[in-house]
């Protein structure tokens, strides 16, 4: 039991969170333009792909056809498409900024443009296909999605680790023992990126419905941007918390490899 707890107790989760907040403060104004840019692109995709579906849903509501298979399929489809779009552009942003944030966290010399050039490669395409597109679909069954997120979210960092021949395997090994920490960061992630939905549904639903019925794409873009503004502005926090957790876990992983200790495969919660 003592060996099992050694990895998790090496650095307290409180310190990891505080280090993530420090990184957030240090890098915020450099990385927020990237988050805004890809968030806006994501909103454009969302408006283009979902407006017609939401228009059909609105028509079905008006005709009291909400109990039909068509309404159910359209409704579930809209949720899945929105989640895929939001997740894809978030993973893209996290992947592009991963190397820069890691270097900043370790207080190494790093340039934003230089880091971009190093991470934009064929490995990025693999990450986007796996974590950006495949992962959201697995969340339909909840548990498989959580497990894949837990095991492989660190791959946004390991794909750029020197001499990492199997970045996905390495990501899984590094994440060992961190299930509840990763789960907490995942929940923070969900709260942040979907923070605009309750605001929209509670205060502006009728206005939103009118925009959908009129299919006013321009105002829909502005509407989604305003409703999601808080989530967009806080999105860098997700990247900084993940960077802090990965960096600490990676240092312990390297120490264990050096000492030739087996990586623990059993997850546990710090008590």
Q: What is the pLDDT of residues 68-86, one digit of tens each?
A: 888 889 989 998 998 899 9
185 burial class (0-12, 13-18, 19+ CB within 10 angstroms)?
Answer: buried
d(CA 30, CA 53): 37
Query: What digits encode the pLDDT tens for the residues 16-37?
Result: 999 999 999 999 999 999 999 9
d(CA 210, CA 195): 22
The predicted structure's pLDDT at residue 270: 47
94-104 core/surface letters (b: 16 or more CB in 10 A; e: else): bbbbbbbbbbb
pLDDT at 257 over 90: no
The structure's pTM equals 0.85
Residue pair 60/74 in contact (Cβ under 8 Å)? The answer is yes
pLDDT above 70 covers what percent of the chain?
Answer: 90
d(CA 90, CA 153): 12
Give the residue-averaged pLDDT of 222-244: 92
Q: Where are the domains of the chain?
A: 2-258
The predicted structure's pLDDT at residue 122: 83
Give the residue-averaged pLDDT of 196-201: 72
In the structure, what pLDDT confidence band is assigned to residue 115 with cuts at 50, 70 and 90?
A: confident
Token digits of residue 261: 């200790």
Give the residue-averaged pLDDT of 122-130: 88
The predicted structure's pLDDT at residue 10: 60
Nearest residue to 146 (alpha-carbon basis) of 168, 178, 124, 123: 178
């Amino acid at each position: 039991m003592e060996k099992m707890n050694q990895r998790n107790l090496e650095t307290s989760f409180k310190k990891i969170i505080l280090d993530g907040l420090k990184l957030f403060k240090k890098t915020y104004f450099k990385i927020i333009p990237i988050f805004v840019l890809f968030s806006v692109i994501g909103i454009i995709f969302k408006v283009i792909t979902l407006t017609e579906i939401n228009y059909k849903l609105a028509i079905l509501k008006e005709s009291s056809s909400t109990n039909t298979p068509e309404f159910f399929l359209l409704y579930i489809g809209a949720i899945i498409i929105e989640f895929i779009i939001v997740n894809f552009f978030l993973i893209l942003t996290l992947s592009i900024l991963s190397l820069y944030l890691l270097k900043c966290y370790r207080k190494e010399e790093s340039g934003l443009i230089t880091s971009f050039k190093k991470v934009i490669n064929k490995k990025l395409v693999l990450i986007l296909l796996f974590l950006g597109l495949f992962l959201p679909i697995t969340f339909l069954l909840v548990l498989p999605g959580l497990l894949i997120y837990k095991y492989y979210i660190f791959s946004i960092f390991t794909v750029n680790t020197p001499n990492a021949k199997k970045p996905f395997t390495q990501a899984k090994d590094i994440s060992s023992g961190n299930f509840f920490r990763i789960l907490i960061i995942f929940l923070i992630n969900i709260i942040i990126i979907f923070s605009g939905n309750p605001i929209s549904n509670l205060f502006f639903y009728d206005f939103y419905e009118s925009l959908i019925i009129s299919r006013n794409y321009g105002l829909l873009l502005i509407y989604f941007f305003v409703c999601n503004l808080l989530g967009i502005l806080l999105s860098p926090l997700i990247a900084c918390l993940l960077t802090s957790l990965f960096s600490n876990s990676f240092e312990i992983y390297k120490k264990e490899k050096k000492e030739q200790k087996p990586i623990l495969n059993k997850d546990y919660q710090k008590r």
